[in-house]
Chains A and B, each alone.
Chain A
């Protein structure tokens, strides 16, 4: 859950 990490949400 870091702010600019991998974005798994669409």
Chain B
């Protein structure tokens, strides 16, 4: 099963067209293996990218070096996925007698 320990989802807030294209470049840097959750559209809209643990430092340095603001939308994706799975299993257990 693919797991995502330490993967973070960053919400990047482009300020201008120049930053938009820098973020677009980030999407193309396949070595970072970022996964676009919500892609580049226009300045007023955030870009969400999932960054594997091993690329986090590079990506954050890249963003900070370009003065691109970002927040951490999901601190550790695997933690949230584990919660989702537990909730599904608990709800399924609850539903079992009824069915």
- Pairing of A with B: no
A positions within 8 Å CB-CB of B: none
